[in-house]
Amino acid sequence: MVIAVLDHVAHCDTSADGDALYLVLHRALALASRVTVSFDGVDGVPSSFINASIVRLVEELGIEAVKSRIAITDVSGQVSDMLRRCVRNASRAPEFA
Amino acid sequence: MPLTVKLPSSFTAHALYRFVSMVVSPEGSPRAETIVFDFRFLSWIDGAGLTVFCNTLQWLAARGVRCMFTNFDRPSEAIAYLDDCGFFEEYVGAKQRTNSSPRSTTLPFRPIGPSESFGWLDFEAIPWLAYVLNVDPRALASIKACMKEIFNNIADHSAETIGFVHVQQYPRVDRVHVTISDFGRGIPTTIRASYGDMSDSAAICLATQEGVSSRSTPRNRGSGLRVLVDYVSKNQGTVDIYSLTGSLKTVNQADGTIEYRETQGAGVYPGTLVNIDLPTIGFVGDEYEEVKEDFEW
């Protein structure tokens, strides 16, 4: 199953946008064992968007489950960097350990 | 009885505490119900000063303070700059000079609310900055994301949910400044709520560290200020942050590291001001690939 982010949110600017993507991914993971998320058309994202979407899934499912079930494609350098930072910061948070 | 506040002769970020202390009491209230701002001694104002001034006027108006202006009808470079930025048209109702108009080196101050900030970024600020920095707009993806972080913080933490932003190019020294300010809880208040007691300047410094977050909203685990500092420093720029009594300035070292200079000010800025200073020559933006990549976990 492929989910193009911009098919489901108009912008990737805020945590509210991230909440909307989270719901889409949450539903998709209930239907499919593996989901591909495409960031085609997204040139950059703030941390609040990633935290509300991808990191929230990491917190719920665990990082290993997310790695095995979610592939992320069509990322710009900035999106890739932000994903890496946010997931790393989440893994350092006391409540995550 | 009206309170008269003389604007500083050089209204830059350095005058921030003195100016605000004349207007805002230590308890965080306006010092008078009517304030007259005297422009008589004003000889220079930059983007940071203008942003602070406008933010203060908006804060006062929100508290029912009547603001008046005097001695602004004299010719001076500072008055002309304010006029060209649209200040007098906005706050007095008329331009001071018939030929006043926005300068090519200025993206004039404007209030930034949650509904218009991102559109302003996409359609005004980023194209303007790309032109000044001589890069493709796609190369500004990181700085755009950093500014979105700041706007999100204003929406999440500011008492007013509206800030002010101003962008100014200084061609003679090959720099451009982006200044964003809001009046609200301030970074230190938010950081202390999660990390305990510390000075305002220490709290601001902590806020720029990777992974440090106010956690003030369920989804907030911030990287915003850290990313901003990293990206700006990579391009030999600097970031100044003022909030409550504290301030922080980044200084780029020759070995590529960043020095953080904390200072406790002699006043209280009831909110946050972020001033981004970037070189217009040699700016290296983001690499943008026509073919995007797969993310490697």
The candidate with the shortest Cα–Cα distance to A11, out of A1, A3, A21, is A21
Q: Which residues from B are below 8 Å from A93, CB to CB?
A: 211, 221
Q: How far apart are CA B90 and CA B61, in angstroms?
A: 13
Q: How far apart are CA B166 and CA B154, in angstroms?
A: 15
Q: Is B33 on the interface with A (CB under 8 A)?
A: no
The candidate with the shortest Cα–Cα distance to B177, out of B169, B165, B187, is B169
Backbone torsions φ then ψ of A65, nearest 5 degrees? -65, -40
Closest-CA distance of chain B to residue A67, Å: 7
Q: Which residues from B are below 8 Å from A87, CB to CB?
A: 297
Q: Return per-residue pLDDT of chain B as tens, 297 residues.
A: 899 999 999 999 999 999 999 999 888 899 999 999 999 999 999 999 999 999 999 989 999 999 999 999 988 999 999 999 999 999 999 999 999 999 999 998 888 877 788 889 999 999 999 999 999 999 999 999 989 988 888 877 766 667 899 999 999 999 999 999 988 888 999 889 889 999 999 999 999 987 776 555 545 555 578 888 988 998 899 999 999 999 999 999 989 899 999 999 878 888 899 999 999 998 888 887 667 889 999
How far apart, in Å, are the Cα atoms of A34 and each of A83, B221, B292? 19, 26, 21
Backbone torsions φ then ψ of B295, nearest 5 degrees? -80, 130
Residue for token pair 């504290």: B246
Kindly provide the ipTM of the predicted complex, given to two decimals: 0.87
Q: Are A96 and A62 in contact, with CB atoms under 8 Å apart?
A: no
Q: Is A45 on the interface with B (CB under 8 A)?
A: yes
Asked if A85 lies within 8 A of B297 by C-beta distance, the reply is no
Strand intervals (E) in chain B: 3-6, 10-11, 34-38, 44-45, 66-70, 106-112, 163-170, 175-183, 238-252, 258-279
pTM given for the model: 0.90
